[in-house]
Copies of this chain bind each other. A is one copy, B any other.
Amino acid sequence: MRVSRINQSTCLGCDLTPFCFNNEKLKQKFQSNSLPVKRRFIIKKNERLFSSDSHFQYLYAIEKGSLKAVQSEPDGTEVIRGLYFAGEILAYDAIYLGYYHFSAIALTEVQVCMLDYQDFLSCLESNPELQRHILYLISSQLSMGSYLTSTKADRKLACLLLDLSLRLHRNHRRDEFELPMSRQDIANYLRLTAETVSRIFTRFQQNKMISIKNKKIKILQIDALKKIADGLNLTP
């Protein structure tokens, strides 16, 4: 992994910012020598943050950019098991397993911050607010990507677009955004083919629900999109 250390002062924040180990609040509570080891760095597009099956030691906070979680199937194919965006924490599932469940690969240039899990646990002991917060954060992961179980391709794609429109900008929805991934990656994540994704995109455009220019997406009728995401066909 190529690592460029960057200035500490450039922190862009994440889900743990209110409890960040750099915060003055926490500095007062702990001796500074007990603060978690922390490094912040940038990886380039298509580079790997960590590899599947490697030993779990760090949680990663994404400050900027997007990542995909890639898992190898027994038959050799690779499936995308998750998408992660700026502000989010990566690798909660490894807490249980003890190793990373998947490889994390940058979809764009990515700025991350690594948190030593053991140090994190030490911090947790004397910080009840952080205890509550981390349970809250992990709990939120349980309902993520539940739309993947849908059997309808247009429904899955509508859900993904709504998901992206929120999560690409730290849960502030925007009706205009840039797809951080290829059609093939979208298809892989949704368990479809790139052809099907392409066909549904054109259908959505014909219905004037969205417009697409390369990777630039604009949601034109969010209510119509939400109806499809809810499994309600416009023409039942």
Q: Chain A residues in contact with chain B, CB under 8 A? A: 73-75, 81, 92-97, 101, 121, 124-125, 128, 131-132, 134-143, 146, 148-151, 191, 230-232
A contact patch SS: helix
Contact between chains at B151 and A149 (CB < 8 Å): no
Beyond contacts A73-B231, A142-B142: 16 other A-B pairs, Cβ-Cβ < 8 A, are A73-B230, A75-B231, A92-B139, A93-B142, A93-B143, A96-B136, A96-B142, A121-B128, A121-B135, A125-B131, A138-B139, A148-B148, A148-B149, A149-B149, A150-B191, A151-B191
Q: Write out the residue numbers on chain B whose beta carbons fall within 8 Å of the beta carbon of A134.
A: 135
Q: Write out the residue numbers on chain B whose beta carbons fall within 8 Å of the beta carbon of A137.
A: 96
* Complex Cα spacing A104 to B210, Å: 37
**What's the number of copies of this chain in the assembled complex?**
2
Contact between chains at A97 and B191 (CB < 8 Å): no
Question: What 5 A-B pairs are tightest by C-beta distance, nearest first?
Answer: A96-B139, A95-B139, A93-B142, A74-B230, A96-B140
Which of A75, A81, A94 has its CB near the most chain B CB atoms (within 10 A)? A75
Which of A81, A95, A151 has its CB near the most chain B CB atoms (within 10 A)? A95
* Complex Cα spacing A96 to B125, Å: 21
Q: Nearest chain B CB to A159's CB is how many angstroms away?
A: 12
Contact between chains at B95 and A135 (CB < 8 Å): yes
Q: Which of B124, B142, B148, B151 contacts A141 (CB 8 A)?
A: B142
